[in-house]
Chains A and B, each alone.
Chain A
Amino acid sequence: MLVEGIKSRPRYPGLTADKHANHHIFAADGEGAQAILDLFTNESDAIKGRVTVVYAQTTPGSEAYAAKLNALSVDIVHIMPTVETALNRLAGVLHAARMGARMYAAGTETLIGFTVQLAQQLGMDPGAVLTEHRGTAARRVQCVHCKGFTENVTTNIVPCAHCGEHLLVRDHYSKRLAAFQGVCADAEVRGELPEISEVFK
């Protein structure tokens, strides 16, 4: 079974300003704020029209980032306590958005994954979301057996938060579920597990 190097794993090419957009909607968590700050430093001329930022304060440095985001010339920065609340706010922002809006997502794979999933649910092309990965590489993993999700996975093997199976975390990724696939790691011989190490830091 292929574990690494699977082509369904998304790539995050980095943020670039869409100079044709008239409304720029940013979703970010933790270190993702820096990607927005960098974009404003490097490409401020190309960012025309309204700017809305939804930012989840998920890391110790988040408060300082929030202050820097507020100092940008933007219409509003929604500061939210978690990724979940940020996504609810983002959904509200998107429902009110009009033609000509462009979505950006920056931060953890989980934040990006949920943002792309939301875009897709609202009938947008998931490829239209511009993305940049910053911060932890921790993964959201779906157990292929009980279908439960385990969040913030940093190790190659993780016990499923629901059924307890030891899951091997594959690179196989579903945009619809915004999750990587976890498959029982010791199904053939119980207890025979590969060495556990922190690979998604």
Chain B
Amino acid sequence: MNQEFKKTTFRDDFTFFNSPASIKRFPFPFWEDKYMYSVNIEPHTAGAPGSVFEFPIDINEHYVSEMADRAIVLKEDPLRCQALPHMMLAQWDFLELLMTSMARDYPQWFSLTTQGDHWHWVNKPLGIDQKFVFGDPSTLPYEPMEYMGRQCQGDFSIQDQRDGQLWMDAGVITTQADWSLDFDVGMNFMEWHGPVPLAHDMKVFDRALKFLLNLQLGEPVRRLNWTMTINPRLDTSPENYNKWGKDRTTVTPENVGDKVHLRVELQALWRLPRSNAILFSIRGYLIKMRELVTVPKWGRRMHRVLGTLPPELIDYKGITRYRDTTLEWLSQYDDGAPTSPGGGPD
């Protein structure tokens, strides 16, 4: 069973890599040769078999390794997982959504049996067999959000909805692109998006918030977001920026292919049934430049997007120091040929 999951690391010796199959299903986020923020929201409906959109929750070859990395982060810094007291009902909503989706879509790995409030959850890859009472936190080893957050790839935050706003009142966030849950918890949609350049003036956040306030039960939506990361490091938190920041100075023409990673977030949003809160999942995918250029269209397009990225985005995403070196390396893979529309390989 466990052979299907790689044992690789996202810190220290950084042994992470993608299998050819994993490269093929990578959610390449650029549908044209340039990039700018937009309200890029679409229904989170089932995609092609084998794609990252096949199921609402995507479990892949990195599952076991990513869960091991999360356990390390939470051990070193418990504040990466926080829930304000009024979020308990939403935590149970979250646990239910994950357990039912995972058991339904990956029956070979997960199973859920319920008899009234008496639930039995089995997670074979992580060796977990848990009987508990739904709604009674004392019957689980962690609070419900942390319990399932430790068993599902991706970061999660849960937003309470009140006064025509969304409030980030809970989350388990260990693989973030340089933002702090501990600092942002309790903020509203406009406040936690405060640090994002340009998008406020483009009214991206006004429109997105209006849309989300009307999000319906059973009609989840998704969007893609991206950044770049040096080394396949999942924990690029501001908390540890004083440890990983120096990685950005280590890129050379020789090591671009292995060190520089595109990091794509498949973000999905669900209305939760009991609490009326909104769940936000941030499912991250890493790919090395060397892996990326095995798809010729992606190599060409990555070069063009990075070359024309607005300066505000280069700065915000922290790419400044290694952008030129990366561009130079990518130029070998850009013959100037036209690219087809959409993100998929040609």
Contacts and interface: CB of A to CB of B under 8 A. Distances in A.
A59 interface: no
Contacts of B192: 8
A7 interface: yes
B183 A181 contact: yes
A7 B242 contact: no
Interface stretch (A28-36, A41-49, A183-191): A183-191
A188 B186 contact: no
A9 B197 CA distance: 14
A174 B197 CA distance: 18
B187 A188 contact: no
Contacts of A145: 238-242
Given A8-B192, A172-B195, A144 B316 contact: no
A6 B109 CA distance: 44
Contact of B246 (A1, A165, A170, A187): A187
| Secondary structure dominating the interface of A | loop
B242 A189 contact: no
B239 to A, nearest CB: 6
B140 interface: no
A147 B183 CA distance: 9
Nearest to A125: B163
Interface in A135-188: 142, 144-145, 147, 165, 170-177, 181, 183-184, 187-188
A64 interface: no
A2 B195 CA distance: 6
Contact of A188 (B183, B185, B195, B246): B246
Interface in B16-60: none
Contacts of B248: 188
B200 A142 contact: no
B239 A188 contact: no
B241 A184 contact: yes
Interface string B187-226: 1001111111100100000000000000000000000000
Nearest to B244: A187
Given A1-B316, A9-B194, A187 B239 contact: no
Interface in B168-196: 178, 180, 182-187, 190-196
B3 interface: no
A7 to B, nearest CB: 4
B183 A174 contact: yes
Nearest to B246: A188
A124 to B, nearest CB: 13
A188 B245 contact: yes
A134 to B, nearest CB: 24
Contact of B238 (A7, A176, A183): A183
B273 interface: no
Given A144-B180, A175-B186, A188-B321, A170 B195 contact: yes
Given A188-B245, A188-B249, A7 B183 contact: no
B35 to A, nearest CB: 18
Nearest to B312: A2
A7 B178 contact: no
B307 interface: no
B245 A187 contact: yes
B194 A1 contact: no
What 6 A-B pairs come out closest when comparing CB atoms? A187-B245, A8-B194, A8-B191, A184-B242, A7-B194, A176-B186
Interface of B: 79, 163, 178, 180, 182-187, 190-197, 200, 238-246, 248-249, 315-316, 318, 321
Given A176-B185, A187-B246, 5 more contacts: A1-B178, A171-B194, A174-B187, A187-B241, A188-B248
